[in-house]
Amino acid sequence: MHLLDLRSRPLANLRLSVTDRCNLRCSYCMPEESYQWLPKQDILTFEEIDRLVDAFTSLGVDRVRLTGGEPLLRQNLPVLIGLLAKKTALGDVALTTNGVLLADLAQPLAQAGLRRITVSLDTLRPGTFHALTKRDDHARVLAGIQAAARWLPRDLKLDSVIIKGVNDDELCDLLDFANEYGAEVRFIEYMDVGGATAWSAERVVSLQTILDTLAARFGTPQVVATPGNATAQRFRLPDGRTFGVIASTTQPFCDACDRSRLTADGMWYMCLYARGGLDLRGPLRAGLSTLELAQHIAATWRRRDKRGAMERLGIADRGPMLDRPALAQDPHLEMHTRGG
């Protein structure tokens, strides 16, 4: 039985950031080179994460997705995967990665019990990759996807953030590439959250534009039915291939949102756009029992009312949600700390 918030949305899907560090500098998330990192002593240990997940599963959470920053930077990550995979209350343990370190880690992650993996791939062009990420790791990401296709083929996803004038001419090629590896690509609309300080509405490639572009090449896509709380709308092409679009900016899905986010230092956020969160590290380290932690979490979720992306929809002359000075005041506002 799931715990419901003020909008009858269940507490079901926990996105778990295991580090705020990243080895790429994607312009729509980490446009700067240096950041104020979370203090090392504040980072939750695997045992602490394990305990907090027990509190969440006792309230009905049945899916966990590991994120970052870049989660594969966290040392011994297969150990944590092993702890989570043992939990019978969890029907799904998934992970989102930028793929740079995946070629060597796909096998141990799979053997530790990881169920599903999503790899971020915004471009097939090394030059565009460098322009987007300030790094030259494109070939390593492609090798990582190859390893994922071998060791974690089930429900393999490739996520591509599409930005006008950057990679919106690669939609068809990205779809073809994903299918070569038995993966499903999900095109993500550019979001104005966290470190996206250069965001503008003009640079957003909308769901409709994505569908029109693909239809021109492959024929009209048909809608594929998806569960109400899914982030991606899914479509099937006349040739049977499928793809997804995550339209957080033009068609937000907050009314069915069952997701919340735990940062690597134990701050819990009810929404990607939320300014404030709940500190769980303090009570945990103060010795609260798992039951007491669960009561703390339950009381907060019951008061949840946030619909961040929907609230942004109505803003005239919409610009980036946050500027550099605001982000510098609280690193938890950053997407790479909140885990996307």
- Binds ligand SF4 by CB under 6 A, chosen from 145, 309, 322, 333: 309
- Smallest distance, ligand SF4 to C-beta of residue 118, A: 16
Nearer to ligand SF4 among residue 81 and residue 204 (C-beta): 204
**Amino acid found at 182:** G
- Binds ligand SF4 by CB under 6 A, chosen from 65, 116, 186, 306: 306
Nearer to ligand SF4 among residue 209 and residue 231 (C-beta): 231
Nearer to ligand SF4 among residue 170 and residue 258 (C-beta): 258
Task: Identify the residue whose tokens are 């989660």.
Answer: 71
What region does 60 belong to: left with phi over 0, alpha with psi -120 to 50, or beta? left
Distance CA 176, CA 155 (A): 16
Bridging pattern class, strands 13-17 and 259-262: parallel
Nearer to ligand SF4 among residue 158 and residue 257 (C-beta): 257
Rule CB under 6 A: say whether 199 interacts with ligand SF4.
Answer: no
Report in angstroms the alpha-carbon separations of 18 from 111, 264, 280.
Answer: 19, 5, 15
- Smallest distance, ligand SF4 to C-beta of residue 293, A: 22
Rule CB under 6 A: say whether 307 interacts with ligand SF4.
Answer: yes
Question: Footprint of ligand SF4 on residues 251-280 (CB under 6 A)?
Answer: 252-254, 257, 259, 271-273
- Smallest distance, ligand SF4 to C-beta of residue 180, A: 31
Rule CB under 6 A: say whether 308 interacts with ligand SF4.
Answer: yes
- Considering only the stretches 134-142, 213-221, 222-230, 301-309, report the one whose residues sit in contact with ligand SF4 under the rule CB under 6 A: 301-309
| CB 120 within 8 Å of CB 97 | yes
Nearer to ligand SF4 among residue 67 and residue 133 (C-beta): 67
Farthest CA pair distance, the chain? 59
**Residue in 325, 329, 95, 309 with CA at minimum distance from that of residue 190:** 309
- Smallest distance, ligand SF4 to C-beta of residue 67, A: 13
- Token readout for 311 is 């609230």
**Amino acid found at 234:** R
Q: In 18-108, where do the E strands start and end?
A: 63-67, 92-97
Site for ligand SF4, rule CB under 6 A: 252-254, 257, 259, 271-273, 306-309
